[in-house]
Chains A and B, each alone.
Chain A
Amino acid sequence: MSKLELVQTLTGHKGIVWNVSWHPQGKIFASCGEDKTIKLWSKEGQQWTIKTVLVDGHQRTIREVAWSPCGNYLASASFDATTAIWDKKSGQFECNAALEGHENEVKSVAWSPSGQLLATCGRDKSVWVWEVAGDDEYECESVLNAHHQDVKKVAWHPSLDILASASYDNSVKLYKEDPSDNDWSCIATLQSHESTVWSLTFDKTGERLATCSDDKTVKIWREYKPDNQEGVIVTDRESVWKCVCTLSGFHTRCIYDITWCHHTGLLATACGDDIIRIFKESETSDPNAPTFDLICTKLNAHTQDVNCVTWNPTGNKEMLSCSDDGEIKLWSYTE
């Protein structure tokens, strides 16, 4: 019988906790929210405790935090229109770079798998790609204006420099750099959701994407490469992404986040009905029309909306969640 067991409830933030992010080694995590602080947590004995609080980096809500793949840098995106980069080269965490350019709220930040690129997005409808140009130096490589509304989330493909973004305009877009002229452009638009797409997550291969929306559904999209065996028509030698599965009837309010575990293949969602749900792909799932079963429903996971869920990157089946109720919870999943 699969279940999600509460390991610890972590308090310390005041007001909404918007996001939690595991360090790549899975032994530290960062959290952020309405109180404009970033807290770094690690385990002391059996208990997770606050090790460091990063203050004065931002003047408004901190919406998202992201660790670089090497684990040495932490990026934070804020409603104050800036993205801060923190590191502890001096021995303690300090903000050593601020990325400015968005007109207003920055809503998401993500490092590419190589750690050489950063993406940010915000209410000004744009997605920015930044290059790590040197010590504490970041250069804007591209400003992508493909969406026509607020961009809610950016996420990178797990191994390639392909970027995905989710928007208030109900669509998801994918981007990559054209090696001939070093220009970034939109290579695919994924349209099927009927309201804001709040988040997205790639599977471990990067050939599938799961998206979640205010329309209360989760959608699974599959990449069909040029000359695919299924005979899906591909033009311009660019892959085509098709929605191959829609999970509807499970969530009762807006779905704010989704996380795909690269070890177990389990999908988990954070929902505005305060519930965390876990889905597992059926053994007999057809790659062109996959089926997923709801294997766990954690009622009352939080006392208010769940804003974020994230699997521990080491694959130990630990999961973090955070909520409008000001709490962070650490869970352990068992089959």
Chain B
Amino acid sequence: MISFFSKLSLNNSQKPPVELAKPAYMDKSATLQELGYRDENDLKETIYDFLRTIRDPEKPSTLEDLKVVYEEGIFVKEPTADKVPVLRVEYNPTVPHCSLATLIGLCIRIKIQRSIHHPVKLDIYIKKGAHTTEDEINKQINDKERIAAAMENPNLRNLVENCIADEE
């Protein structure tokens, strides 16, 4: 399996161009309604809207076009004890040996983190049975330390930025 996380090149000394952007935090005791959602379904739809426009790393299509992401793949789980919404996002790589499945998982996480403006807990998984190494990939894309390191790798970061950039 090609792992994007295992090919870190450290000789690239290019400085990161942007400030470390962080969403503005709202009071964690806020209900979904207070956060601006009608209900759980509205939260799901909002998340789906963030994801559907992500571009496939290789093809000139979006993840929605390719049915890699789909609305039924977003689950609003029981919130944490602090009432932080917990979201599970499931995605379906186009082929079971897709070498870009890890990168797509990374794009999904970064896109949601950048787009949502309140605390949220994310669990991202490959649809069960949809990939030959799904357990390995699931573990990687839910390890926040690996994600943080991946986003400091300039090449990988560029790939992600290109996939999640808004359409002109």
Contacts and interface: CB of A to CB of B under 8 A. Distances in A.
Interface string B126-168: 0000000000000100011110110010000000000000000
A63 B149 CA distance: 10
A297 B13 CA distance: 43
A105 B81 contact: no
Interface stretch (A22-30, A86-94, A217-225, A272-280): A272-280
Given A15-B20, A152-B145, A105 B82 contact: no
B22 A326 contact: yes
Contacts of A253: 80, 121
B82 A300 contact: yes
A179 to B, nearest CB: 36
Contacts of B143: 168, 196, 214
Contacts of B8: 104-105, 123
Given A81-B10, A303-B25, A303-B119, A273 B80 contact: yes
Interface string A54-84: 0000011101000000000000000111000
A34 B80 CA distance: 25
A325 interface: yes
A14 B19 contact: yes
Given A59-B13, A105-B8, A303 B28 contact: yes
Contacts of B32: none
Given A14-B19, A107-B145, A252 B152 contact: no
Contacts of A272: 121
B13 A123 contact: no
A168 B145 CA distance: 11
Contacts of A304: 119
B100 interface: no
A61 B144 CA distance: 13
Interface size class of B (residues with CB under 8 A): 20 to 34
B84 interface: yes
Contacts of A59: 13
Interface residues of A, number: 37
B139 A274 contact: no
A150 interface: yes
A274 B10 contact: no
Contacts of B10: 80-81, 104
A300 B148 CA distance: 23
Given A15-B22, A303-B25, A325-B25, A252 B80 contact: yes
Nearest to A275: B81
23 contacts: A34-B20, A79-B148, A80-B10, A81-B10, A105-B149, A107-B145, A123-B8, A123-B146, A152-B145, A168-B143, A196-B143, A252-B80, A252-B81, A273-B82, A273-B121, A274-B82, A274-B84, A275-B82, A299-B81, A300-B28, A300-B82, A324-B144, A326-B22
Closest 4 CB pairs of A and B: A15-B20, A273-B80, A104-B8, A60-B152
Given A35-B20, A61-B149, A324-B144, 9 more contacts: A61-B148, A79-B149, A105-B149, A252-B80, A252-B81, A272-B121, A273-B81, A274-B28, A300-B82
